A and B are shown apart, each in its own frame.
Chain A
Amino acid sequence: MKVPGAWYLALAAALFSIGAIGLLVRRNVLVMFMCIELMLNAVNLTFVTFARMLDDVGGQTAVFFVLVVAAAEVVVGLGIIVSIFRRRSGATADDVSLLKG
């Protein structure tokens, strides 16, 4: 017997909110990035669940594009983090509050 899609959707919602809370609470920039990955995974799980529920391949195609965008985002974000840490070591998100710097 298949698990109903609503269970997957509830799990994805819980995963998304855990990621959102972590993004708001944590101050380490790398951990904040990991929380963004958690939220992206929750969205991917929702897409796959709806693709199964509605018998539609568009959901899985969207997940593929989300994966590509997530990879590009991680590359650019980690580049920004490396360049920030090169300027000042041990920086948290609170220390980078200035645009000019």
Chain B
Amino acid sequence: MIDWFVFAVAAVATLSGALGVVMSTNPVHAALMLVMTLFSVAVLFVAQNAHFLAAVQVIVYAGAIVVLFLFVIMLLGVDKSEDMGKERLRGQRPLALVAGLTVLGAVLLLARSEWVSGAQSAAGPLGDGSQNVEILARSMFTRYLLAFEITSVLLVIAVVGAVVLVGRPATPDAGTPDAGTSDAATSDGGTSAPATSGAGPSDEVGS
């Protein structure tokens, strides 16, 4: 009985949060609705004995990713409401609704049938949830160890990519071509007249 109650409350919160993300005109409100959905999904994880994933869901998603979203919204100053009244592409919303409902119908149709064989996979049994962290850790650090290490490479690539994307380009007056030519000039004229060639770059810097 209590399971059904938890599921009903979490399901209503999940769906209303998702609808709030889609329908709210203000991006800040959308981000807060996303937090509600993520918390509800974490509750559903707990109800299914996935305690570690629920903790990670709250910490990583609600704690880090949504804060990152809000940070970018505030940084860019795009927290003004969007005009949802008119649609730019004619017939976009009905077509999107049809496509989404088609996806929903197809998934529900597939969920009706029995597609699983019931055979145990190579990953191992899950248990009753009392040792969730131990079982998950043993699976991750033995069978999926290579994939786990590849994810660290992925995170490093993502960090480097973000720095490259967001980092400002070098200012033009401190760019490399001028420095290269002045260095070449000093190295060429360095044997004949070191004093005058040494004064050249300092004049450029001063001007």
* Interface positions of A (Cβ within 8 A of B): 1-3, 6-11, 13-22, 24-28, 30-31, 33-35, 37-38, 41, 44-45, 48-61, 63-65, 67-76, 78-83, 85, 89-90, 94
Complex: A62 Cα to B76 Cα, angstroms: 34
Complex: A56 Cα to B124 Cα, angstroms: 6
Complex: A82 Cα to B100 Cα, angstroms: 29
Cβ of A7: which chain B residues have Cβ within 8 Å of it?
7, 11
Cβ of B41: which chain A residues have Cβ within 8 Å of it?
41, 44-45
Among A20, A31, A82, A94, the residue within 8 A (CB) of B21 is: A31
Q: How far is the CB of B144 from chain A (nearest CB, A)?
A: 6
Q: Are B30 and A34 in contact (CB under 8 A)?
A: yes
What number of A-B contacts does a CB cutoff of 8 Å give? 231
Comparing B49-57, B176-184, B187-195, B196-204, the segment that makes contact with chain A is B49-57
B72 on interface, CB distance cutoff 8 Å = yes
Q: Are B21 and A52 in contact (CB under 8 A)?
A: no
Given A17-B104, A37-B65, A78 contacting B72 (CB threshold 8 A): yes
* Interface positions of B (Cβ within 8 A of A): 1, 3-4, 7, 11, 14-15, 18-19, 21-22, 27, 30-31, 34, 37-38, 41, 44-45, 47-50, 52-53, 56-57, 60-61, 64-65, 68-69, 72-73, 75-78, 82, 88, 92-93, 95-97, 99-101, 103-104, 107-108, 111, 116, 118, 120-127, 132, 135-136, 139-140, 144, 147, 151, 154-155, 157-159, 161-162, 165-166
Cβ of B38: which chain A residues have Cβ within 8 Å of it?
37, 41
Q: Are B18 and A61 in contact (CB under 8 A)?
A: no
**Most chain A beta carbons < 10 A, residue from B76, B127, B136, B154:** B76
Cβ of B69: which chain A residues have Cβ within 8 Å of it?
30, 33-34, 74, 78
Q: Are A27 and B82 in contact (CB under 8 A)?
A: yes
Complex: A15 Cα to B15 Cα, angstroms: 6
Q: Are A57 and B125 in contact (CB under 8 A)?
A: yes
Complex: A2 Cα to B155 Cα, angstroms: 37
Q: How far is the CB of A77 from chain B (nearest CB, A)?
A: 9
Q: Are A1 and B53 in contact (CB under 8 A)?
A: no
Query: Across the two chains, which residue of chain B brings its CB closest to A1?
Result: B3
Q: Are B161 and A61 in contact (CB under 8 A)?
A: no
Complex: A63 Cα to B158 Cα, angstroms: 19
Q: Are A24 and B49 in contact (CB under 8 A)?
A: no
Complex: A79 Cα to B104 Cα, angstroms: 32
Complex: A60 Cα to B118 Cα, angstroms: 17
**Most chain A beta carbons < 10 A, residue from B45, B82, B123:** B123
Cβ of B127: which chain A residues have Cβ within 8 Å of it?
55
Query: Across the two chains, which residue of chain B brings its CB closest to A30?
Result: B27
Q: Are B48 and A48 in contact (CB under 8 A)?
A: yes
